[in-house]
Structure 1
Amino acid sequence: MTLTATRPAARAGRRQPAPPPRRGGTWARYALLAVMALLTLGPFIAMLIVALSPRGKPTVPARWPESLTFDNIAQVLNASGFGQWTLNSLIYSAVSVVIILLTSSMAGYAFAKKRFPGRDTILWTFLATMMVPFQAMLIPLYVLVSDFGGADTFWGLIVPTLANSQAVFLMRQFILGLPDELFDAAKVDGASELRVYWTIVVPLTKPILATLGVFVFLWHWNDFLWPLVISQSDATRTLTVGLTVLKTEELQWSTLMSSAAVSAVPCLLVFFLLQRYLVNSIAMTGLK
């Protein structure tokens, strides 16, 4: 009798399962996301249509062109200087990514897990440089690099952009979430600081390194102001600066849009190659 009487009370105390979401709300979200995606991709689609349109007939967004052609893209690829500009942009972006990832991960590890006098003061002083606009430092930086003979050189183009406080901050915040027991165990086993960095920090920070690598690549690939100031010839001129040189000439809109479309291909390739790591870094956010 007691068992039978207590069963209804036990059932009454159970939490009722949450009702399943209504399909109407789910489809509404998907529709909203689809509209936002179309609005985002609209300018890129218009760029491709103009790039593939016959010369002298940029009809977007007025109407769809009667025919599409790849002659404009072929003309851009065969243009004098375009190949050199693309190579310079690749060197500028790739070298900057490698050096920034190496230095920022080392600095992030030091600021997150090491204790030394003035650590917090140095960190916040370095982060305070983010509040200084680059335009305010442009002329002094150009004069300094020119005095050292860096004008119109690759090292003068690359070196001033390597001190990236945002990258250091992101790496520090990610490494703070790593368990201290891993580093303590490595010290007990007699591992050196370089071994700890290479065998613990680097493997565990691959998702944030990939994410940061994509961002740094895009920053440098699309960088315009500093390459415009420091580059004075096609030998060091990047693709973004070279496209402005093309704009000063009397070219068709289809040719300019073809140049922009070709310049976007490396960014898309980098994104798709590292997409898996980007998703992992988002999924690991907040995990210890």
Structure 2
Amino acid sequence: MSENHEYLVPFSDKSRSNLRAGCENCFGLCCVALYFSASEGFPLDKDAGQPCLNLQPDFRCCVHKSLSERGLKGCIAFDCFGAGQKVSQVCFCGYDWRKVPESGKQMFEVFLIMRQLHELLWYLTEALTLQPAHSIHGALSSMLDETECLTHLSPGSLMELDVAVHRADVNTLLLKTSELVRAEARRGYKTYSGRQKTFGRGADLIAADLRRNDLRGANLRGAYLIAADLRGTDLSGADFIGADFRDADLRGADLTKGIFLTQAQLNAAKGDTSTKLPSSLTRPLHWGLSKNQANE
């Protein structure tokens, strides 16, 4: 593997510590606010605002330790980016929807808005660490501050916020960041035996065998990578925003230099201890051992 990986700047996990789920400080909002269907890897069909049958009085899940064994992939993959504890402890000052039932409907709606804002904070925080995007770091920093301020609005103001407009403004900067990083990644590799291919946003790569493609610096935004074979691939500089990794095979893949990857995407994929991950993300507990380790 080439040693030319200078286009990324290491960043501290502390910079995103408030963007990680803290279930101990949340009122089980993801188990109540969301609509989900049993066909999507959840325990049952459930309407938005209705508590999941596995949610306990202390807001913990009674089957959390056996989600993988039960095949509850939807629960495994979900990540609130820390929005749950922000809404529970900051927006609603620690008053939960059980003790104050009249706050429930508003709390659940605010949670859905907050999750979107926290996801944007995740991407913007990472964008500010990417050296190729240094020319727009000022704009990124301003947008980060603006987004953070929005997360501290009152519940009523948050419900009036046009999140779609704000997402579009953020996305303009993230697209520019992606272009700069991916161009630098491609310049860093002079030769490669694999086939270079350009993918458009939302590319249909379901069950595709991508092992012979050169995916360094690839645009995989919104790509459908469901059950795709990415074993042993180098994904340096690839943009993963919105990519669907459900059951994608990442065994032996190198994602350390990929950009805009989230824990939820990893949780939905298949991998093992030979999969190389960015330092900001955690190897899912349900991933198995590598083939070599399994044979030891």
TM-score, structure 1 normalization = 0.28
The higher relative CO (CA closer than 8 Å, separation ≥ 6) is in 1
TM-score, structure 2 normalization = 0.28
